[in-house]
Amino acid sequence: MHLISSFTSSRGVRYPAPDVARGFMLLLIAVANVPQWSRVPASFVGTFPASAADAWWVFIRELFVDHRAYPLFAMLFGFGLMTMINRRIASGTESYLQSLPGADAGREPTPQEEAWAREQATVDARSLVRRRGWWMILFGFVHGIFFPGDIIGAYGLVAVLFAGCLARKQYTLLYSAGAFITLLAAANFLAMGFASPETIAVWSGAQESQFTIALPWFAANIVEWTIALFIQVLLALIVPAAVLGARLADTGIIIHPERHRGLLAAMGIGGLTVGAGGALHSALTKMMPISAWPWDFAAKELFGLASACGWLALLALYAGGPREDGRLTGLRRLASAVGRRSMTAYLSQTILFGVIFVIVPLLVTGERLWLGPATAALIAVAVWLVTVVLCVVLERGGHAGPFETLLRTAVARSERKRSMAPPAVQPISRPGA
């Protein structure tokens, strides 16, 4: 029996909160990533005096955006994976049961057959997640050639490593892995805080190492992407955030925010407040002539997960629950169109940033474009708005994002058929027989 691979059910109810959250999350991603494109090289330091607008923007970005956008992205990724698994298991179980002998005649399946059907559907879901993860790693590799800060590959690696645990809902193992990686990440962040400024600059990507400088740009990007791939999964908060998002998918908190307004309001305000408090001293060092504390980086990173929870809660509240007609209006409609095409929007940001900061300036002046933080942030907002227009046009035409279509097709066509036989139907014993 062959089941068609799909990530979401077109026949099911579409819950707006995850899509709206993804759409606005991509705005945070654009704002967080643009400094990597407009990063002023060491030879230019001092030629761009910081303005008051730059200083205040960096302060705000440190509190609410930096190291807060990627765990939000990871939570939504985990949420999407578990939603996909739940739908695949439900539809797959039904399909396997319908394939049993006598099902067409109305024969009720035995408990043994029901367990068999669910097990086969679970194996299919695990295979689907793992195949999707491998393809995402390939997509991320190609993207990383042009932008080593790519995050698709890291999420793909998470899917490959934890497909089995997610499909079987082995939350004890998932929680344990998340806690272990959180401890490793905390130790890594503290080590960076106590390291020399030069080491921190290279480690965080703010300054290229001598090794990568000696390589061609594409080879240097591949090296940086490969190193970042494992650092993001093993020494950052992607796994804990993805596990949290997966667990949320098995609750009604995000898909039915209208039923949990008080909880989400507390999570939103509390999460952003705690996250901002963890990054406050680090942000103040960008505003005032005060020395950084060795644990500033660790606090900013670890409390970033609280901020991500806060952002998700507020965005879910804003999106609201499902509508009877399934229609959204205003900013919700625009954000939902982007969220349903998040990979296309994310990769389009790289294309647009590359054109704005690299290709056009090199053709016109022979040098890359270097901008202050506030101006670069405005360009990031403009780039996000362009992706909004692109996604709305696709939405009106009834088209999925091109990169979503490419990924979906690759995953479906790489599926291998499994040979299996349903359990033997045990004859019903009769009294006195």
pLDDT tens figures, 181-215: 999 999 999 998 887 565 555 555 545 555 556 77
Q: Using the predicted structure, report yes or no on whether residue 57 has a pLDDT greater than 60.
A: yes
pLDDT at 42 over 70: no
pLDDT of 428: 44
Give the Cα separation of 169 and 319 in Å (integer): 27
pTM, rounded to two decimals:
0.90
For the chain, how are helix, strand and coil distributed in percent, rounded to 5? Answer: 70, 0, 30
- The angle subtended at Cα 243 by Cα 282 and Cα 70, nearest 5°, is 35
H or E element in which residue 298 lies: helix 296-302
Tell me if 150 sits within 8 A of 226, measured CB to CB: no
The model's confidence at residue 105, banded by pLDDT at 50, 70 and 90, is: confident
135-144, 155-164, 217-226, 349-358: range with lowest mean pLDDT: 217-226
Give the pLDDT of residue 210. 56
Residue listed under structure tokens 């940086």: 224
Calpha distance 57→375 (Å, rounded): 10
The pLDDT of residue 116: 94
Which H/E stretch holds residue 403? helix 402-413
pLDDT beyond 70 at 28: yes
pLDDT band of residue 429 (cuts 50, 70, 90) is very low
CB atoms near residue 371 (< 10 Å): 20
Residues contacting residue 239 through CB under 8 Å, at least 6 positions apart = 74, 158, 162, 177, 178, 181, 233
What was the pLDDT predicted at 106? Answer: 85
pLDDT digits (tens, 9 = 90+) for 371-412: 989 999 999 999 999 999 999 999 999 999 999 999 999 999
pLDDT tens-digit series, residues 310-349: 999 999 999 999 987 778 999 999 999 999 999 999 999 9
Using DSSP's 3-state secondary structure scheme, residue 43 falls into: helix
Burial of 235 (0-12, 13-18, 19+ CB in 10 A): middle
Give the pLDDT confidence score for residue 170 in this predicted structure.
Answer: 97
Per-residue confidence (pLDDT) for residue 202, from 0 to 100? 53
Which residues fall within 8 angstroms of residue 148, CB to CB, at 6 or more apart?
205, 220, 221, 222, 224, 225, 228
Residue 201 burial (CB count, 10 A): 15
For residues 238 and 344, give the distance between their C-alpha atoms in angstroms, rounded to a whole number: 21
More confident residue, 429 or 128: 128
Statement: residue 357 has pLDDT above 90 = yes
Rg of the chain over CA atoms, in angstroms?
Answer: 24
Mean pLDDT, the chain, whole residue set: 89
10 confidence band (pLDDT: 50, 70, 90): very low
pLDDT at 47: 44
pLDDT at 138: 98
- Average pLDDT for residues 350-371, to the nearest whole number? 95
**241 pLDDT exceeds 80?**
yes
Sign of the dihedral through C-alpha 280, 283, 288, 291: positive
Q: State the Cα–Cα distance between residues 153 and 405, nearest whole angstrom.
A: 18
- Residue 233 has a pLDDT of 96
Q: Count Cβ neighbours within 10 Å for each residue of 288-316 and write b for 16 or more, e otherwise.
A: eeeeeeebbbbbbbbbbbbbbbbbbbbbb
Average pLDDT over residues 221-230: 94
Residue 366 has pLDDT above 80, yes or no: yes
Residue 7 has pLDDT above 50, yes or no: no
Angle between helices 304-319 and 261-287 (to 10 degrees): 130
pLDDT band at 5 (very low <50, low <70, confident <90, very high): very low
Mean pLDDT calculated for residue range 249-264: 95
Q: Residue ranges of the domains in the chain? A: 16-413
